Amino acid sequence: MRIFDVTRLIHHGMPVYAGDPEVLIEPWLSISAGSSVNVSRLSMGSHTGTHIDAPAHLRDGSLGVDQLPLDELIGPARVVGLPTCFQIDAGSLLGLELTLHRRILFKTLVPGRQQTDPAGFGGITEEAARLLVDSGVKLVGVDTLSVDRLDSSSLPAHNTFLDAGIIILEGLDLSAVLPGDYELLCLPLKVHHGDGAPARIVLRELAA
């Protein structure tokens, strides 16, 4: 069974959501400078790269990333390919048999379309988000920096998902993954009361 690493590399200059901290990785101790070990200092936002949004992202006092149930983060997942779709609306979800899948990952990027381009992805509409909630989906992932439009201030998809207890994955790298069914293994950093956290996420092919 093949394993696909769908986590984006964390590095200097990588794309981040507008207003979020830039990524800094710098030496703290180094063998070349006379230390016995190499140790780096990492500085980045909690929503850097491939990451999880917890309810605390939008609501004070809500569940932090350290309180999310692991059984929602590990299990069968459906990858849905929508590369020609600018915006995921209710019509985009027709025929997907949503009630059969607790975890859905949307593959929207095509070569040349960037994570940070507001004109490249119009987000998930509130109507589509509500349909996913009503269908019993418990986790939604996207390969862009946000489930909402990058220029959105009201964040309708975030609000709809997080208020319903649906876990959000953002910044996935699904470029090497074909649409279909996989096993999702998603382990975020265990940040105390974290509003979000980077995660190492892989998809494993299901046994034939």
Looking at the annotation, which residues are catalytic?
A: 57
Angle between the N-to-C axes of helices 126-134 and 156-163, in degrees from 0 to 180, rounded to the nearest 10: 20
CA end-to-end distance (rounded Å), the chain: 9
Q: Under a CB-based contact definition with an 8 Å cutoff, are residues 183 and 72 in contact?
A: no
Number of H helices, E strands in the chain: 3, 10
Angle at 13 between CA 20 and CA 170, to 5 degrees: 50
Q: Is the dihedral of CA 42, 45, 50, 56 positive or negative?
A: positive
